[in-house]
Amino acid sequence: MKSREYEIAIVGAGPAGLTAALYAGRALKRTVLLEAGIPGGELLNTETIEDYPGFASITGPDLASKMTEHALTFGAEMIPARVTSISVQPDGTKRISVEDGEPYFAKAVILTAGGQPRKLDVPGELEYAGRGVSYCAVCDGAFFKGEHLAVIGGGDAALEEAGFLTRYASRVTLIHRRRDFRAQPVLVERARTNPKLDFVMDSVVDEITGDGQRVEGLRLRHLPGDEVSALPVGGVFIFIGFLPNSGLLSMHADHDSQGYYLTDSNMQTSVPGVYAAGDVRAQLTRQVTTAVGDATTAAMAATKLVELPLEVPSQS
C-alpha cells in the first residue's frame, strides 16, 4: 500500500473524528485523520462540559487534549491538511483532494468535518468581525472586561455562552427572535437566575453599529411590528445556529433541508462507503455524547466494509 493509500480516511478531528480514529486504529486498519486546524473541533470553544459521562466537570480544551492523545494510541495517523473535495473512482476507492498536496485514497471515508457558525447577515457584521463581533465566547470573552455585551440566539449555545460572558461583562443582554427559548430547561433556569443577565425577546438585530473601529451598539427591531430601538453595547456574540461542512462530496448525497447528511443506522450516507458522524449528520441533538456514539458506529461499519473486496459498479 502506497504512502497516501489508506483503508479508512477520516475528515475532521472534532470529538466524532477523534473517536472514529480511535476505533479504526484499534481495529488495526490503516487509518488517516485529516484536520486543517487544531484537533478538538467545537470542544475548543467550550469552557466547561458537565454532561460527558465520567467527567462531572471538564474544560473543552482539556477533553480535546485527552481525546486526541487517546485517538492516536492505536496507530491512526493525524495529518494537517485541508480537504477540498472527495470523489469516488470507478473501482469504489475514495479520492480525497487537499490544498497544497497530493490526494489521499481510501476504501472508506468518515466525514466528521463539523461546520461553521451561522451568520446574521446584517449590516456591520462583516465590518466589525474581530472588532467587537465574535462567535466564540471562550476565545474572546476576556477581551471585553467591564463591557455591556449582547448575545444573539435562543438555543443551548447562546444561553451557555451568555452565562460564561457574565464573568467578564458588566452586563449581558440576550436577544432572541421568539418568545420562548429552544434551550434545555436547566440552562434557561440558570440564565434567568443570573443577576447579570437580562433578556430582549421577540426581537431581531437589524444592524450592528460602531465608530468604524469598534462595535458601539445594535439597532433592534421588535416583532411582530416594526418598532425599532437602539441598544448600546461594546461587543456582540452570535449563536444562532450551525452550518454543516457538508459540501465536500463531489457527488450528490442525501441531506435534509439544512444540508445535514441523512444516514442509515450504520451512519452510511447514500454514497456507499462514505459515512457521516457528529455535527454534519441530521439528528435530534448535537452533543459530544451523540458525536462519539455516531463515530463509534461509523468506524465499526467502515471497518467491516474495508474487509470486503472492492466491487466495480456495473454499468447499466
User: Residues 6 or more apart from 197 whose CB is under 8 A from it?
Assistant: 162, 163, 166, 172, 173, 174, 191
Tracing cell 466547561 back to the chain, one arrives at: 48
Furthest-apart CA pair in the chain: how many Å? 68
Determine whether 160 is exposed, middle or buried from the number of CB atoms within 10 Å of its CB (0-12, 13-18, 19+). buried
CA dihedral 118, 122, 123, 125 (to 10 degrees): -20
Residue ranges of the alpha helices (H) in the chain? 15-26, 60-71, 137-140, 156-165, 185-192, 288-306
The Cα–Cα gap between 203 and 192 comes to 18
Q: 162: how many CB neighbours lie within 10 A of its CB?
A: 30
Indicate the residue type of 174.
L
Q: Which residues are catalytic?
A: 136, 139-140
The Cα–Cα gap between 74 and 220 comes to 53
User: Residues 6 or more apart from 70 whose CB is under 8 A from it?
Assistant: 18, 22
The Cα–Cα gap between 116 and 108 comes to 25
Quote the distance between the C-alpha of residue 110 and its chain's center. 15
Please spell the DSSP secondary structure of 173-221, one letter per residue.
Answer: EEE-SSSS--S-HHHHHHHHT-TTEEEE-SEEEEEEEESSSSEEEEEEE
Helix axis angle, 288-306 relative to 15-26, nearest 10°? Answer: 40
Helix then strand then coil, in percent of the chain rounded to 5, is: 25, 30, 45
